Structure 1
Amino acid sequence: MHAMTLTETFLIAMLLIFSVPYLVWRLGRLDYWAPLVVVQIVGGVLLGPGVLGAAFPDYYAFVFSPQVITTLNGIAWWGVMIFVWIAGIELDLGQAWASRRETGITAGLALVTPLAFGSLAAIVMLQTPGWAGTAGQPWQVVLGIGMACAVTALPILVLLMDKLAILRQPLGQRILRYASLDDIAIWGVLALILLDWERVGRQVAFLAAFAVATWAIRRLMQRIPETDRWYVSLIWLAACGFAADWAGLHYMVGAFLSGAVLDSKWFDEEAMDRFRATILLTVMPVFFLSTGLRTQWGVGGFAVFGAAGLLLAASVGGKLLGIGIAGRILKWAPGEASIIGWLLQTKALIMIIFANILLDRQIITNETFTALLLMAVASTMLTVPIVAPRLKRVAGLVGRTS
């Protein structure tokens, strides 16, 4: 009998990764409820040890052997670095500064309120064992979970607003400003959580070198044609990811910073949209699968689902309350704050990346990660069904610039 080679086993895994979520999404006609990426995340959970591994342990061990998982992880790391790099490039700090009062109030309340609610939920969770990682101090766990509740998934938000036909409208651009400003805070808080006092010298050296390198790369990018900018940017991405990881932060922090210091105007907008779509299509499903392989239910299924429900309530409730307060301060029209709040509570990708980093650093456990993952999926699937009918009722808001 022919023994399966590593290549053949790897390709079986890839076949499952790409076929199962797509068939469920297409045959189940789930497009209205969730983009394909959300179904892929759920597919990763189902193919992980918590479901497939529990039901068919021998088959799971055969397909997802340590060698296959190592190969998949390498693809996932690079794919998600590129995705975060794109998110960094799409930050428009100039536009945020031009509308700084409105943007600052809205983004600030959209971040602080769910952060406070999520931190309180984390404190409740920590009353029982099993949620804090072996390397996590209580303040790191609380701040990490709280920030996970406050995150807005900028790339997924772009996809959903495009689906709702408001991405290029004034309302969509306002929402992108709010989410972009919060993105900066997210990575800043992550850097604080990951601060390693034993490596503080390396981290100071990284920041100093990064500042000098940023000046150099920006001068270079303005002097080379756009075709070269793409290739040089990927070299810059790999270098920043390595340097940040070496300094004791995380390669994902380096990936975001490498994009944030570049100007989106240096790249054709349509080409960037196509590039993002290509990464989503060809590489990111592997990241979702590797994410699913981390899901565990060791604390007990009921406890994990209970924690996910608590975190979902904290996340959605905190975001809607924060945006509601901003709407009152800024005197928005009736219904406007609700639409913006529901769109900004979208989680999925960025929150999963954020939680992956906390798990990698053993600040949270697999069970906490699983609860956060379930919260992210539920939050994202709620968005379009709730926002779409509200947009129809208040169509005039789409064209408002502030």
Structure 2
Amino acid sequence: MSTTELFLIAMVIILGVPYLVWRVFRTDYWAPLVVVQILTGILLGPGVLGKVFPEYYSTVFAPPVIGALNGIAWWAVMAFVWIAGIELDPREVWRQRRECGTTAALALGVPMLAGCAAAFGLLAWRDGWMGPEAQTWQFVAGIGMACAVTALPILILLMNKLGMLREPLGQRVLRYASLDDLAIWAVLAILLLDWKRVGHQAAFLAVFAVASWGFRRLMARVTEDDRYYIGLVWLAACGYGADWCGLHFMVGAFLAGAVMERDWFTLSRLDQLRDNVLLVVMPVFFLSTGLRTNWNVGGAAVFVAAGILLVASVLGKLAGVGLAGKLLGWQRGDAWIIGWLLQTKALIMIIFVNVLLDKHMITSETFTALLLMAVASTMLTVPFVAPRLKLRGHG
């Protein structure tokens, strides 16, 4: 068969299998379609399908097909992160800065410390977790941040399903998650600092600052339709600049969106764009993510590591949010709901650890453990939050 035919077979699998699983088994309560797509990507990867049906796997997912899928996945995830940057609203966070700052700091800091402790435990347990290009502090900080991440886009999706997105509690959670989202990309930029290329990185940031000023002035003068086209060109240019200087194209994609104003766009159209990206091209990213899963360090060890990281993430997040609730005098039960909502990790955390894997700071085994942890923590969110919301009269 030709590469085109194999590519289309792969696309049928990528789009069809998770949809059928999601619809037939009605998994939406505990596993939204996004989570099912990620799990399907893992099952279609070399760790499962490649082991059970190696000839079929090597035929359908041949190197030319993988190359084509990777190109789509890169652009899909860049567009998704760009939209996430646009949706940040730092002005509202600033208005509620005491509450948001305290909550975000504890909700991010405590699980990050727990994750760092888990990372030290993994290093003491056995070799095979830290990538060849990482220093110990980079590996530990990267694992710690992976345990602390909240996926803002998936959080929005889940809160919308729970009927609380536009309610006061939902808006509070969005402000906390938005501030943590900024911190995630700041930490990633620090992890990727390369002293051999620091001159290139400083030059990129300087040019980016000047170009952002001109870009913002231009965007303020054009129509909304033009803003989308110009914004996509801006996205590609920022991604190239960030990757050229060693910061990774994903950092550039986030910066490209972060300097844009959400008010430049009709909210419904921006939501539609995000939904279309999720529908049309992000499943390819999930598949390419699954193709990176690996069990070579030993299947049992990967699952044990995933369990350790999950415990560190969940307990750290609940402890941090609980402490914030006590300091700020929240209503009884708020800390439990907010703590579980902020557990959602799929997508942003997966993007984060993809960058760490690309930069050889973690091994594919660590990546697999983190991926399993991200999926599990996201699947726990709705089952723990929905009953508590019903007791409070929601849903």
TM-score (norm 2): 0.99
Aligned partner of 1:42 in structure 2 is 39
Deviation at 1:289, TM superposition (A): 0.1
| Counterpart Cα distance in 2 of 1:117 and 1:152 | 15
| Counterpart Cα distance in 1 of 2:262 and 2:329 | 32
1:17 aligns with 2:14: yes
Residue by residue over 1:362-402, the C-alpha shift from the partner in whole angstroms, topping out at 9 and shown as x without a partner, is 00000000000000000000011110110111248x9xxxx
| Counterpart Cα distance in 2 of 1:253 and 1:375 | 23
Aligned partner of 1:112 in structure 2 is 109
Task: Confirm or deny: 8 A CA contact 1:335 1:394 kept in the other structure.
Answer: no
Which of 325, 329, 332 is residue 331 of structure 1 equivalent to? 329
Q: Which amino acid aligns with 1:55?
A: V
SS in 2 for 1:295: coil
Task: Confirm or deny: 8 A CA contact 1:153 1:346 kept in the other structure.
Answer: yes
Which of 301, 311, 314 is residue 312 of structure 2 equivalent to? 314
| Counterpart Cα distance in 1 of 2:163 and 2:206 | 42
Tell me the matched-pair count: 394
Aligned partner of 1:214 in structure 2 is 212
SS in 1 for 2:275: helix
Unaligned runs of 5+ in 1: none
Deviation at 1:173, TM superposition (A): 1.1
Which of 386, 389, 392 is residue 390 of structure 2 equivalent to? 392
Task: Confirm or deny: 8 A CA contact 1:17 1:286 kept in the other structure.
Answer: yes
Aligned partner of 1:60 in structure 2 is 57
Superposition pairs for residues 1-400 of structure 1, below 5 Å? Answer: 4-127=1-124, 128-395=126-393
Task: Confirm or deny: 8 A CA contact 1:348 1:380 kept in the other structure.
Answer: yes
Q: Percent identity?
A: 68
Residue by residue over 1:282-312, the C-alpha shift from the partner in whole angstroms, topping out at 9 and shown as x without a partner, is 0000000000000000110110000000000
| Counterpart Cα distance in 2 of 1:126 and 1:395 | 46
| Counterpart Cα distance in 1 of 2:353 and 2:185 | 12
SS in 2 for 1:198: coil
| Counterpart Cα distance in 2 of 1:88 and 1:168 | 20
Residue by residue over 1:136-180, the C-alpha shift from the partner in whole angstroms, topping out at 9 and shown as x without a partner, is 111110000000000000110010011011111111111111011
SS in 2 for 1:131: coil
SS in 2 for 1:222: helix
SS in 2 for 1:126: helix
| Counterpart Cα distance in 1 of 2:211 and 2:165 | 33
Cα RMSD, aligned residues only? 0.9
| Counterpart Cα distance in 1 of 2:360 and 2:222 | 42
SS in 1 for 2:243: helix
| Counterpart Cα distance in 1 of 2:308 and 2:113 | 13
Task: Confirm or deny: 8 A CA contact 1:82 1:255 kept in the other structure.
Answer: yes
Deviation at 1:250, TM superposition (A): 0.5
Deviation at 1:32, TM superposition (A): 1.0
Q: Which amino acid aligns with 2:330?
A: W
Residue by residue over 1:89-127, the C-alpha shift from the partner in whole angstroms, topping out at 9 and shown as x without a partner, is 111000000000000000000110000000000000011
| Counterpart Cα distance in 1 of 2:351 and 2:363 | 15
